[in-house]
A and B are shown apart, each in its own frame.
Chain A
Amino acid sequence: MSLPPNSALDDVSGPGVLARSASPISDSAVPSWWAQRSGKNSRGGTSLGLGLVTLYLSFLVLIPLGAVVWKSQSNGWSAFWRQVTTPEAWDALKLTLTISVGVALFNLVMGTVIAWVLVRDDFPGKAVVELFIDLPFALPTIVAGVVLLSLYGPRSPAHVNIAFTRTAITVALLFVTLPFVVRTVQPVLIELDRDMEAAAASLGASPFLIARRIILPNLVPAMLTGTGLAFARAIGEFGSVSLLSGNLPFRTEVSAVNIYNQIQSDNPVGAAAQSTVLLVVAFVVLFALDRLKRWGVHRG
């Protein structure tokens, strides 16, 4: 029993799947599988179920992703590299990574500020803000694109037209990644023991000093996790960006759009090469987050 009913957490954690990348399995359970193997687990049901699940995941996920990597290497390593570094693909990749880093860092700051305001501040309408902060996760990405286009597009009533610019890519990515940092930082902030802050304050620490020396160090792992997840999401985003950016080669074409264009122009090797790069970057980030989580666990 980790959460009492009606605990504050029920109200704040949104569609937690992305934010809650923690696996339900504790690592300590893994070494024990040999020991327990001959117990209840040798039941026929397990093998059948395991067989079916493995088959399903193989045909749905493993073989297709393997095919992407295999296809990208089908003409050898140098051909792979040539495909990745064609001027158009290379520009798209650089643009994607640069903007995604910027968006992730901006999220790091704004997400933490929003989480702080949601936890420590109180204002009328807070419950509504709480609820709709998750909207970017629930909203289809193409709808996110339409939504932004309606206010910041060519027929903008606010006379702010960002369509077909790099700003549009940035805004679209900020929109779809908005909840990541908020939703990872918020639970940590709620559980943070306020007695520490009270103690520091009673010893004469300024609010700034308390924020820097007590609050921030406790939030850093969650902040980094949210930022990493936002980055991984940003590099692969397609729907909202393709609608807003105009997809001008060398100017506003991101990697996902570049891959799409290569599929359409019948260059599967090039598309697979660019995809492989995106896959590797995303996996490296997720692996680093996994390390970070373990480090946080050991430290705490």
Chain B
Amino acid sequence: MASVGIGGSDGTVAVRGNRRPVARYGLRFVALGYLLVLLAAPVAMVFYRAFQHGLGPIWSALTTGEARSAIEVTLIVAISAVVLNTIFGVGTALLLVRRRFPGRHLLDVLVDIPQAVSPIVVGLALILVYGKFGFFGSWIERNGIKIIFSLPGMVLATAFVSLPLVVRSVAPVLAELGDEQEQAARTLGASSWQTFRRITLPSIRDALAYGIVLSLARSLGEYGAVTVVSGHVIGKTLTLTLFIDERLQNFDEPAAYSAAVLLAIIAMGSLLISRRFRARSRSVV
């Protein structure tokens, strides 16, 4: 951390700031004006549109059979993806931080790749491997499994895009904790699993919660990758984001706005919750 000034450095800047109020208010005006036009006003507008006739229309728009199924599918897909990412994310983080093996740097790079891939490319990539004419397509079909245009493919797509979140939340905390306590537990005769459950897991709890919240938020809202592999079967493979798109195509704006507001509220909630967990995970270390 940068050293804090001997004192008075804040004052100096403030004095200088006061001497140049034009620059200061100018910058503030530009920054806040930009945020208002780009972010605050549109978000406020969508809430206004959704709530302008009260809660009733939203409730009825979100309780139709199609909407209920979309909510259900969204939850199934997102939770499955988050479970996968949590298990493999913690495992990957442990390997990256605690172990030395050939190719570790490669694994480290691999984890970040999904951030650089367009969601549409993710969908295409999965089709090319697991689709009817893909690498494993004929084998998959022979065994009567359906991946693309069904839930497993949507889970894969969602897990792909949210892959780095748990790893990158947990790994820094693991690294800062060090492994003295884990080694102490081992010398006292604890098994690997006991050490993990009693020592490691409690100390990464908040960081893991942070990663899971980020993962869940990302998974609930994934659109591009899922739209390619879902097949858009209403009542079967339509998630909430796809439902929004489908309703807009059918000029049913109230339903689209209701679902959009539901997802926006979830996003805002996840921002608040994740911030708490992040602060707590930092303060543990």
A-side residues, CB < 8 A to B, are: 1-3, 5-7, 9-11, 13-18, 20-21, 23-25, 29-30, 32-33, 36-37, 39, 41, 43, 45-46, 49-50, 52-54, 56-57, 60-65, 67-68, 71, 110, 113-114, 116-118, 120-121, 123, 129, 131-136, 138-143, 146-148, 150-152, 157, 171, 174-175, 178, 191-195, 197-198, 201, 207, 232, 235-239, 243, 255-257, 259-260, 263, 268, 271-272, 275, 278-279, 282-283, 285-286
Contact = CB atoms under 8 A, between A and B. Distances in A.
B117 A236 contact: yes
Interface stretch (B55-63, B104-112, B138-146, B197-205): B104-112
Contacts of B285: 1-3
Given A140-B221, A275-B121, A63 B129 contact: yes
Interface centre among A53, A193, A272 (most CB of B within 10 A): A53
Residue of B99, B165, B227, B241 with highest tally of chain A CB at under 10 A: B99
B10 interface: yes
- Cβ-closest 7 pairs across A and B: A140-B221, A236-B118, A5-B283, A64-B125, A238-B224, A24-B171, A67-B128
A7 B46 CA distance: 35
B113 interface: yes
A130 to B, nearest CB: 10
Given A147-B42, A286-B116, A50 B124 contact: no
A248 B258 CA distance: 28
Please classify the interface of chain A as helix (H, G, I), strand (E, B), loop, or mixed, using the class held by over half of its residues. helix
Given A67-B134, A140-B220, A10 B102 contact: no
B96 A24 contact: yes
Greatest chain B CB density within 10 A among A9, A64, A171 is at: A64
Interface in B244-282: 244-245, 248, 256-257, 260, 263-264, 267-268, 270-272, 274-275, 278-279, 282
B168 interface: yes
A192 B264 CA distance: 35
A257 B192 CA distance: 48
A120 B228 contact: no
B31 interface: yes
B187 to A, nearest CB: 12
A191 B1 contact: yes
Given A33-B101, A147-B46, A151-B41, A260 B116 contact: no
Contact of A150 (B49, B118, B224): B49
